[in-house]
Amino acid sequence: MTGLALFAGSAILLMSTLEMGATRDESFYFRFGRSYADWFADLDAAADPEAVASVLGRRAVESVWSGNFEHPPLMKSAFAASWRAFARKERDLSRPRTGLAGQPEQWSVGGLAPADGFPEGAQVSLLAPLVRGQQATDPGRVLGRATVTSRLPSRADLRLDEGDRDAIIAACRARPGDPGPPMVLTGCRAREDRPLALMSEMTAMRFPGVLTGALAVLLTFLLGEATLGFLPGLLGALAFLFVPRHFFHAHLCAFDMGIVAGVLATLYAFWRSLSDRRYALVAGVAWGLALLIKHNAFFLPVPLVAFWLWNGRRQLAWPRIAGRRRLELPPLPLALLVMPLVALPMLFTFWPRLWYDPWSSLARYFGFHLEHEHYMQWYFGRPLQVPPFPVEFPFALTLFTVPEVFTFLSLLGIFLAYRARPGQPGAPRPGARTFLLLNGLVPIILIALPSTPIFGGVKHWMTGMPMLLLFAGYALTWALRRATERIPGRALRGAVAGAVVLVVFAGPVRASLRAVPFGTAYWNDLIAGGIQGAADKQLMRLYWGYTTRQALDWLNENAPRNASVFFQNTTWDAWDAYRRDGLVRHDLRYLGGPAGADISLIEPQKAFAELDIDVRRAMGVAGPTGFVTFEGVPMLRIYTRPEPPRAAPPPPTTGIPAEDPPGSTL
């Protein structure tokens, strides 16, 4: 029950704090998740063996599954399934077209893909334009209802069943960017009525990431309970969740929490298999799932083999037998034998891109990561883009981005665990401390190698953090025992222990909730004042262009109609996600550069200094007109082009048409 409560509570908390913008990586996974969903939709729609063979054939598989091939498919397939099942998909509604003689006029929804829905016979709500401050699900938006009469590859034709035609057309005259109040964000749209369509498109894409984040918390608890005890497992799991950067990553449509959960599941099953051989098969399946999530899983045997050899070191020998040396090893854990036999076939079976030319495809996959681009990082004012990189880099970032109390407790917990004697009350299970320490440190050590790319911050060694934070739970348990051992009465001891836990967690929980829109900008107070100190010391505080979302309300309110906007580090796919969810006006235009931009949104990073100068020159301005800030530190600069002198308004015209041309978008 404790594990279930941890999972459910974490998922609910994460779902209620989805306040961050779409990151650069997320935007790509939105796109490829939808393309994978289209492939699955085509497979579902295949009505005969020939159609099935076409979808599963080389041409179709390679055209779809080569997209974002640098990462395995499991999480993107989960994003696709969640989006397809749970997303409210609103699409632009077009003006009715006059039908043939004796037939009713047809309304239509265009720009559809196979997985967008709107199948023939589906019931559809016709929605009024969304205005600023209005919820997309506001029942007042419903103008009428219709039925899909035909579904073409990119269009669905509708028959109006309920609602006044003329009233709908009149309501849909409002256009995005029309002056308010209220400001109009979208045109008229259509939404398929489905009982499971409970989330916005971006939230539905993020839902699997939230679930894997909650699963990582649960698995941290289970592993901690199995190695250190119930309370260390519980406190360690909560500590993992409330590291602010972990909390941020647990919301995203990305692989990072997924691979943490996959690694934890493998480690838990491996540990249990040491005393129960049935878990060896579970370890193999768990490792297969981890391999299908992210390439980090390929390194998992390193600490497991090291643990096997260290734990059985007394059985290691190099005796001379019949004049020849012979290596004697400790008994091989069954899981180490089963894991590759189960996991590797899973990788080739469930990754469609490996169905054709599997070995050359796998070589390309490894080649991408071995030759990965080195993105610019700033580390105490030092630009890092070309190896060798500082060995201390991941250790320093861990020290400065994990709440200080958790770092102190983790170090204390390691000391206490190695000091504890076997059989002593509260002592770790035999072998547990080495098992946790190896699996906690190896991911950090791999990133510390001078040639390893260091982009992305702490997420690249996050697979090791649950194990290290379990030691924090162990130390806190020891402290609670010492603090309450002389207090009379169980109730009073419980109250004191609860108060101590609240004091320890208050700061990290507050920081996690406060920093969630700017998650990678969190730095602890070891950097002379948190984020302000990090900015003064020229440390990276932003990645991936997601702070744009915090400027969307300003943009909706202040951007001229049909304004062109340069979003710098925010991709077109992220912009498209904001449009799909009705977060930004549909009249605004996305630009890939500052030339011709009316507004530019620029992240104030040292790595973008030259671009910042280019923006000022291109827009003819001396500096920004506004900022998005976090704790007083700029997170986004807003540049606006000066307005040219206004000409005298033209004389009013007459003869304004009563209706828009037939077939135009409402």
- Tens of pLDDT, residues 382-400: 888 888 899 999 999 999 9
pLDDT of residue 126: 97
568 and 502 fall within a common domain: no
Q: Based on the domain organization, do 142 and 238 belong to the same domain? A: no
Lowest mean pLDDT among 50-54, 128-132, 492-496: 492-496
pLDDT, one tens digit per residue, over 654-666 is 433 333 333 334 5
Rounded to an integer, what is the distance from CA 293 to the centroid of its chain? Answer: 13
Residue 653 has pLDDT above 50, yes or no: no
DSSP assignment letter at 488: -
User: Which pLDDT band, with edges at 50, 70 and 90, does 98 fall under?
Assistant: low
More confident residue, 324 or 580: 580
The reported pLDDT for the residue numbered 651 is: 52
Q: What is the pLDDT of residues 280-294, one digit of tens each?
A: 999 999 999 999 999
Domain end marker among 196, 226, 252: 196
Does 485 or 203 have the greater pLDDT score? 203
Same domain (yes/no): 377, 264: yes
Which is nearest to 197 in space by CA: 31, 26, 82, 37?
82
Of 577, 587, 581, 507, nearest to 545 by C-alpha is: 577
Rounded Cα distance between 56 and 558, Å, is: 49
Examine the domain organization and report whether 191 and 119 are in the same domain.
yes
Same domain, yes or no: 170 and 244 = no
- The answer as to whether 288 is a domain residue is yes
pLDDT of residue 529: 84
Half-sphere exposure of 498 (CA within 13 A, CB side): 6
Q: Give which of 176, 200, 204 is closest to 188, Cα–Cα.
A: 176
The amino acid present at 126, given as its one-letter code, is L
One domain, residues 368 and 490: yes
Determine the pLDDT at residue 261: 98
245-293 residue pLDDT tens = 999 999 999 999 999 999 999 999 999 999 999 999 999 999 999 999 9
The model's confidence at residue 649, banded by pLDDT at 50, 70 and 90, is: low
Tell me: pLDDT of 89 over 90. yes
Among residues 196, 227, 244, which one ends one of the domains? 196
Residue 153 confidence (pLDDT): 92
Mean pLDDT of 404-426: 93
What is the β-pairing status of strands 599-602 and 633-640? Answer: antiparallel
Distance (Å, rounded) from C-alpha 40 to C-alpha 55?
A: 9
Q: Is 317 helix (H, G, I), strand (E, B) or coil?
A: strand
| CA–CA distance, 561 with 133 (Å, rounded to integer) | 18
Residues 191-241 pLDDT 10s: 999 999 999 999 999 999 999 999 999 999 999 999 999 999 999 999 999
Examine the domain organization and report whether 290 and 146 are in the same domain. Answer: no
Element (H, E) at 222: helix 201-227
Rounded Cα–Cα distance for residues 248 and 251 (Å)? 6
Residue 104 pLDDT more than 70? no
The verdict on residue 505 lying in a domain is: yes
**Are 431 and 314 in the same domain?**
yes
Whether 248 is in a domain gets the answer: yes
Residue 488 has pLDDT above 80, yes or no: yes
622 domain-assigned:
yes
What is the average per-residue pLDDT within 101-123? 87
Residue 377 DSSP SS3: strand
Q: Mean pLDDT, to the nearest integer, of 428-438?
A: 96
Residue 456 scores a pLDDT above 80? no
Predicted pLDDT at 663: 37
Q: What is the pLDDT of residue 179?
A: 78
Q: Which residue in 354, 221, 333 sits closest to 279, CA to CA? A: 333
Cα separation, 298 vs 220, whole angstroms: 20
Residue 102's pLDDT band, with cuts at 50, 70 and 90, is: low
Question: What is the per-residue pLDDT for 644?
Answer: 65
pLDDT at 117 (0 to 100): 95
- Identify whether residues 96 and 175 lie together within a single domain: yes
Q: Residues 494, 411: one domain? A: yes
Residue 371 has pLDDT above 90, yes or no: no
CATH code: domain of residue 132: 2.40.30
Same domain, 276 and 297: yes
Tell me, yes or no, whether 269 lies in a domain. yes
Mean predicted confidence (pLDDT) in 313-337: 84
Does the pLDDT at position 115 exceed 80?
A: yes
Same structural domain, 414 and 289: yes
- The answer to whether residue 526 sits within a structural domain is no
Q: How many domains does the chain have?
A: 3
313 within some domain:
yes
> Apex CA 404: angle with CA 399 and CA 406, to 5°?
95
Torsion of CA 558, 562, 566, 569, to 10 degrees: 80
* Main-chain phi, psi angles of 106, to 5 degrees: -115, 135
pLDDT of residue 665: 45
Query: 124-149, pLDDT tens digit by residue?
Result: 999 999 999 999 999 999 999 999 99
pTM (predicted TM-score): 0.93
Taking the C-alpha atoms of residue 251 and residue 516, their distance in angstroms, rounded to an integer, is 9
- Nearest of 432, 435, 439, 436 to residue 300 by alpha carbon: 439
Based on DSSP, count helices (H) and strands (E) in the chain, helices before strands: 23, 15
> Which one is predicted more confidently, 79 or 377?
79
Residue 555 confidence (pLDDT) above 70: yes
- Mean pLDDT score, 514-519: 93
Predicted pLDDT at 650: 57
Kind plus residue range of the DSSP H or E element containing 110: strand 106-110
Give domain status of residue 624, yes or no.
yes
User: CA-to-CA distance for 647 and 630, rounded, in angstroms?
Assistant: 40
Residue 235 domain boundaries: 204-518
Tokens of 525: 């107070």
Q: Quick check: helix, strand or coil at residue 91?
A: strand
Most confident of 175-179, 297-301, 456-460: 297-301
Instruction: Single out the residue in 137, 168, 196 at which a domain terminates.
Output: 196
Mean pLDDT of the chain: 91
Q: In the predicted model, what is the mean pLDDT of residues 161-165?
A: 92
Within 8 A by CB and 6+ apart from 299, the residues are: 442, 443, 446
